[in-house]
Structure 1
Amino acid sequence: MLYHWRTASTNLKLGLVLLTIALVVFIAGLSSGFWVKRDTLQVDVYRDTYGLWVHNKCDEPRGCHEDPLNSVYLENRGWTGWFRLTQAVECLGLICMVIALLILLLYFFVSSCKQRKALYAIILFTFLSVLFIVIGIAVFGGKMEQMGYSVGWSMGLAIAGVVLAFLAGIMEVLELR
């Protein structure tokens, strides 16, 4: 097994490392609740944040509390369509990234999987993950910016993850030469 690692090209090794880090960083961003934030000037509300799965609000006298973003909550705000789209494409991006990483690991360590077709599949799933994640970030960020929210650290992690996945895709394409 170590033999396969030593014989692999530097581009592919770098692609594997970048894609692994991208997946971890993206999962951290996807699962946390601070995609966007708004510090309000209202006396009773001093912080309002949204993730893809939860709404956090800090106000007086309740303090900070979480509200799950279920269908009823989204319908009451009129957010059902674009919010569900964002959740769906981000999940599709995550699935594609996991598939790309699994195929890449097979390509590295299983001799029968070391074919050009596998490399094409790795590249396809890597760039599909980038595409889906960018679409989700653009839709979510655009809609929330219209409502006065700014980018939070969770979205920053998701953006960092997609940039790393894109760089991994470039390394995988360089392997084709």
Structure 2
Amino acid sequence: MLYHWRTASINLKLALVSLTLALILFIVGFSSIYWLQIERPEENYLDSYGLWIHYRCEDPRGCHEDPMNSVYLGNKEWTGWFRLTQAVECLGLICMVVALLILLLYFFVSSCKQRKALYAIILFTFLSVLFIVIGIAVFGGKMDKMGYSVGWSMGLAIAGAILAFFAGIMEVLELR
């Protein structure tokens, strides 16, 4: 295995490291509840949304979580655009995992070092970025109209997309 690392190009090494980091950052952002939030410390109030959970803290009622299910989304009239966001973010995650798996095979299994495998890696990497960016744009655009600010979870998802884009560039450079 060390042999493969030593013989790989710098572009391929950078792609592997950045795509791995991108996946880790995106999974943390994807699964946490601070995509967007409103915080008013003077009132002890916090209202935050993730892709899967709504979290609210307010005095004197305390804190509670609500799943972002069809009933909750329907009550807020968010069903269409919110489900679209969840779907494209899931597609982005799937494409990123597939890209990383194929890259690992390409990197470490000599029988998989074919040009068509590299094309597949590039395709899945850029598809993941595209899906993630679409989801972030839809989610952020809707919540911005309601006065929410970007939370750290969405920031991690954005950082993951940027690192995946960088990995895609390194993969394209590997074609030369």
Structure 1 length-normalised TM: 0.96
Q: What are structure 2's unaligned runs of at least 5 residues?
A: none
1:61 Cα offset (Å): 1.6
Are 1:169 and 2:165 counterparts? no
Alpha-carbon offset, residue 64 of structure 1: 1.5
Contact 1:40 1:48 in 2 (8 A): no
Question: Mean alpha-carbon deviation: is it higher for 101-110 or for 53-62?
Answer: 53-62
1:31-110 aligned at under 5 Å gives the runs 31-40=31-40, 43=43, 46-110=45-109
Q: 1:27 aligned to 2:27?
A: yes
Contact 1:86–1:136 under 8 Å retained in 2: yes
For residue 34 of structure 1, give the secondary structure of its aligned residue in structure 2: coil
What are the ranges of 5 or more consecutive residues in structure 1 without an aligned counterpart? none
SS of 1:39 mapped into structure 2: strand
Partners of 1:9 and 1:107 in 2: how far apart?
A: 12
Contact 1:29 1:158 in 2 (8 A): yes
Distance 2:67 2:22 in 1: 26
What number of residue pairs does the alignment pair up? 176
Q: Which residue is equivalent to 1:127? A: 126
Give 1:52 deviation, angstroms.
Answer: 0.3
CA distance in 1, matches of 2:59, 2:41: 13
TM-score by length of 2: 0.97
* Cα deviation, residue 41, structure 1: 8.6
State the identity as a percent. Answer: 80
Return the letter of the residue paired with 1:84. Answer: R
Aligned amino acid, residue 161 of structure 2: V
Q: Offset at 1:39?
A: 2.1
Deviation, structure 1 residue 9:
0.3
Per-residue CA deviation, residues 110-140 of structure 1 (Å, 9 max, x unaligned), is: 1110000000000000000000000000000
RMSD, matched Cα? 1.3
Q: Per-residue CA shift, 1:67-104, capped at 9, x if unaligned?
A: 11111000000000000000000000000000000000
